[in-house]
Amino acid sequence: MSTATDPIRVLVCDDQALVRTGYVTIFSAQPDMEVVGEAVNGHEAVAASRLLKPDVVVMDIRMPLLDGIQATRQLAGPDVADTAPPKVLVVTTFNVDAHVYDALRAGASGFLLKDAPPAELVNAIRTVAGGEALLAPAVTRHLIGHYAGHLRPAGTARPAREELVRSLTPRELEVLQHLAEGLSNTEIASAMHISSETVKTYVSRILAKLGLRDRVQAVVLAHRTGLAADVT
């Protein structure tokens, strides 16, 4: 995995050669990114990821042999033994709630539509590589609110995990509530009149206290425990 000074190692997984070529061109042009490999189906994605150790896997959903959801589950799901699995950014043409739901259940850290501009895609990679969750703006609040009652964060469904929420300080609870609203660190910092670095520290503490992998799990848990109202 990369350090703060290393480029973000990216693996591109899509069954369409034209799409892969476009991604490689865009990502390779970024000074802080390195494309370490490509895959044309889920099986190749899993094998390449285990061999090449990317920081972020850009994953299509509909691929032959093994789809992106199953591949994501093998790479970042709750049963994965890797202590530092890659972040998976699912990029698809299908804006279907069930796909997002399945991707998050499988362990994805982000979900973006293929019609997103290149700058948004590049930013998404940086976002998930930095440990933040990212969902396409068109589906974020509606999706999380709609599925909060059904979606269980991978490995965090036990009541004891929800009991741990009570151990958070008032300030940490406030940050968690803002996370559940879909706010970025910068937006939370503005709302709470603190620095982005302080927000980042709070988020790290929250994840550590609750034993969560990333912000997606924190958001879901916040809804499941009633800290955030469902958004319609």
Round to whole Å and give the CA distance between 138 and 146. Answer: 14
Strand partners, 58: 12, 89
Say whether both 77 and 125 belong to one domain. Answer: yes
Residue 78 scores a pLDDT above 70 = no
Look at residues 40, 39, 208 and name the one whose alpha carbon lies nearest to residue 218: 208
Say whether both 128 and 170 belong to one domain. Answer: no
Percent of the chain exceeding pLDDT 70 equals 76
Say whether both 168 and 109 belong to one domain. Answer: no
* pLDDT at residue 18, rounded to an integer: 93
* pLDDT at residue 151, rounded to an integer: 46
Say whether both 77 and 174 belong to one domain. Answer: no
Q: Considering the domain boundaries, does residue 165 fall inside one?
A: yes
Q: How many domains does the chain have?
A: 2
pLDDT, mean of residues 71-82: 78
Say whether both 32 and 69 belong to one domain. Answer: yes
Q: Are 57 and 11 in contact (CB under 8 A)?
A: yes
**Would you place residue 143 in the very low, low, confident or very high pLDDT band (cuts 50, 70, 90)?**
low
In tens, the pLDDT along 173-214 reads 999 888 877 777 888 899 999 998 899 899 889 988 888 777
Q: Are 220 and 161 in contact (CB under 8 A)?
A: no
- Enter the tokens of residue 36: 């370490």
Strand partners, 9: 34
In tens, the pLDDT along 17-61 reads 999 999 999 999 999 999 999 999 999 999 999 999 999 999 998
Q: Considering the domain boundaries, does residue 143 fall inside one?
A: no
Q: Which residue has the tokens 């501009």?
A: 117
Higher pLDDT, 51 or 132: 51
Q: Are 45 and 80 in contact (CB under 8 A)?
A: no
Say whether both 130 and 166 belong to one domain. Answer: no
Output the pTM of the full model: 0.67
* pLDDT at residue 153, rounded to an integer: 45
Higher pLDDT, 95 or 86: 86
Q: Over the chain, what is the mean pLDDT?
A: 80
| CATH number of 95's domain | 3.40.50.2300
Residue 135 scores a pLDDT above 90 = no
* pLDDT at residue 202, rounded to an integer: 92
Round to whole Å and give the CA distance between 163 and 166. Answer: 6
* pLDDT at residue 172, rounded to an integer: 93
Residue 192 belongs to what domain range? 151-224
